[in-house]
Amino acid sequence: MISGSYQMTGCDLTLVSIPERKSLLLKGTATHGIGLPMTEHRKLVALQDAAGCHSPQLFKGVAGDLIARKIPSFLRLDRMASSVAPLALCASAVAIRENSKAFGRVSMAVAVNVSRFESVTMAPPDPILGVSEAFKADTSDAKLNLGVGAYRTEELQPYVLNVVRKAENLMLERGENKEYLPIEGLAAFNKVTADLLFGANNTVIQEGKVATVQSLSGTGSLRLAAAFIQRYFLDAKVLISSPTWGNHKNIFNDARVPWSEYRYYDPRTVGLDFDGMLADIKAAPDGSFVLLHGCAHNPTGIDPTPEQWNKLADIIQDKNHIPFFDVAYQGFASGSLDTDAYSVRLFVERGLELLVAQSYSKNLGLYAERIGAINVVCSSSDAAARVKSQLKRLARPMYSNPPVHGARIVANVVGDATLFNEWKQEMELMAGRIKNVRQRLFDYLSQKDKSGKDWSFILKQIGMFSFTGLNKAQSEHMTNKWHVYMTKDGRISLAGLSLSKCEYLADAIIDSFHNVG
């Protein structure tokens, strides 16, 4: 039974299906060396569908290959073996190529190493997490990983907080089960996380105006919110700072939410371009989402002052924009959880509706537990209930419900006065260690660099990172010559630096800065 024929310049192919043998034949001759453009490929696929054979990838490579090589072909595609058909087909193609005068049925018995995923290209390494992979592969003793923002001890070892160990012991003693959590997460976690962020006495909490949903750490919470924006704010775009944490763009791109940048960093002053920031936020369409780093801006380490936050709030309010805070470093900027919640609480006090994504990766060192939350502050408890129901609806098909372990740790630590106090002390310790290496690095840079360059910007930056001002080539030189692993935007994580390595790092920075263009 002939299912259809297909013609294009230089080739003449016919599809023949033989139902009783559950087979599909592609018969044809190619006289010109031509490839198979996508439009032609679609026609073939349509024929293939009409013939009741569903393996659209099949023809793409093989028919294209045959046509390109001007090889007469008579191929049998066996539906019974559709999963191995591409391999078999390739073998056919090879067989034909080797015996190009042959025109006849070709055996499919031999499979060669060609994948159904042939069209999948290699993705580039992640600009941040890829640095850790490269670091692992380096065998030098001098190597230093200042790429990812992850806290290390003075011995450059990962650190599990004592309060986390204590909370885990409590969980073991209680013999907690591993039942599914509700879609919105652990109730005790959702309560303490909102309290920690907004302050337990905040009226928005007392009046039930906050929709809090536990999600997969900061990234997952941002992604859930992005899906929410995509669904409910069809025309809205998100404004993000230039520069910003590299993953922000991926998150909004994948969620199909349009974004544009507002000015933030001024390389001349190595400080905040506040006028540029205000102007760009003002110029954006009314009702845009404005992504703001709640504290310890990543990668610059430069935050607006309280006065500047107030001015920003004025403009955002005037423009009817919706603030969207990313709070990944609460407690890590100043060492105080309350001080670092200043910006969010200010906007809430002003009565704005807003979103906040929270993460416990850094401040509780729970990187791998994937624990965080998305909070949406609404102007009524009714709106909050509806928003929460929709966040749950979005989460369910994405990951169903969040993991419980990290949620219990946070609930135990934040919900218990003794552990909470211990946590604050440990956080001060971590923030303090970072401040010490910051100071030591600055001291070495100022002493050793005889060019008179002013390195004091390093001391003005806050949080885990320092934005060194090194360009891409200089950053690459840091890695290639000095084995110092860092992101190509010139960011170094001071959380991965020890006092004893500061001098080495200063030498590397001075060399790269002055000797590489």
- The residues carrying an active-site annotation are 245, 326, 362
Instruction: With H, G, I as helix, E, B as strand and everything else as coil, classify residue 274.
Output: helix
- Token readout for 218 is 């900061």
- Token readout for 203 is 């009226």
Does residue 301 bind ligand KET (CB under 6 A)? Answer: no
> Peptide bond before 56: cis, by omega within 30 degrees of 0?
no
Residue 250 CB, shortest distance to ligand KET, in Å, is 10
Residue 505 CB, shortest distance to ligand KET, in Å, is 17
- Token readout for 425 is 């002390």
Nearer to ligand KET, 190 or 219 (CB): 219
Residue 246 CB, shortest distance to ligand KET, in Å, is 7
Using the rule CB under 6 A, which residue among 298, 363, 468, 479 binds ligand KET? 298
- Interface of this chain with ligand KET, residues 357 to 416, rule: CB under 6 A: 359, 361, 367, 372
Residue with tokens 């190009």: 100
- DSSP class of residue 79? G
Using the rule CB under 6 A, which residue among 245, 262, 423, 467 binds ligand KET? 245
Instruction: With H, G, I as helix, E, B as strand and everything else as coil, classify residue 385.
Output: helix
Does residue 461 bind ligand KET (CB under 6 A)? Answer: no
The DSSP secondary structure of 197-243, one letter per residue, reads HH-TT-HHHHTT-EEEEEEEHHHHHHHHHHHHHHHH-TT--EEEEES
Using the rule CB under 6 A, which residue among 225, 328, 377, 410 binds ligand KET? 328
322-327 and 144-145: which strand pairing?
unpaired
Residue 126 CB, shortest distance to ligand KET, in Å, is 8
Nearer to ligand KET, 360 or 423 (CB): 360
Contact 354, 324 (CB under 8 A): yes
Nearer to ligand KET, 64 or 372 (CB): 372
Round the CA-based radius of gyration of the chain to a whole number and report it.
29
Does residue 251 bind ligand KET (CB under 6 A)? Answer: no
Phi, psi of 94 (to 5 degrees): -60, -45
Using the rule CB under 6 A, which residue among 64, 149, 185, 365 binds ligand KET? 149
Locate all alpha helices (DSSP H) within 78-161, ordered by sequence: 85-98, 129-137
Contact 217, 359 (CB under 8 A): yes
How distant, in Å, are the alpha carbons of 229, 238, 376 from that of 288?
10, 6, 16
Contact 355, 196 (CB under 8 A): no
- Interface of this chain with ligand KET, residues 175 to 234, rule: CB under 6 A: 217-219
Q: Which of 508, 481, 487, 483 is nearest to 137 (CA)?
A: 483
Nearer to ligand KET, 245 or 485 (CB): 245
Does residue 288 bind ligand KET (CB under 6 A)? Answer: no
Does residue 61 bind ligand KET (CB under 6 A)? Answer: no
Nearer to ligand KET, 412 or 487 (CB): 487
Nearer to ligand KET, 167 or 328 (CB): 328
Does residue 71 bind ligand KET (CB under 6 A)? Answer: no
Nearer to ligand KET, 198 or 245 (CB): 245
Residue 429 CB, shortest distance to ligand KET, in Å, is 20
Alpha-carbon gap, residue 55 to 436, rounded angstroms: 61
Alpha-carbon gap, residue 372 to 366, rounded angstroms: 10
Nearer to ligand KET, 280 or 326 (CB): 326
- Interface of this chain with ligand KET, residues 103 to 122, rule: CB under 6 A: none
> Peptide bond before 243: cis, by omega within 30 degrees of 0?
yes
Residue 486 CB, shortest distance to ligand KET, in Å, is 11
Residue 475 CB, shortest distance to ligand KET, in Å, is 15
Residue 456 CB, shortest distance to ligand KET, in Å, is 24
- DSSP class of residue 159? -
Does residue 145 bind ligand KET (CB under 6 A)? Answer: no
Which residues form the interface with ligand KET (CB under 6 A)? 128, 148-149, 217-219, 245, 247, 293, 298, 326, 328, 359, 361, 367, 372
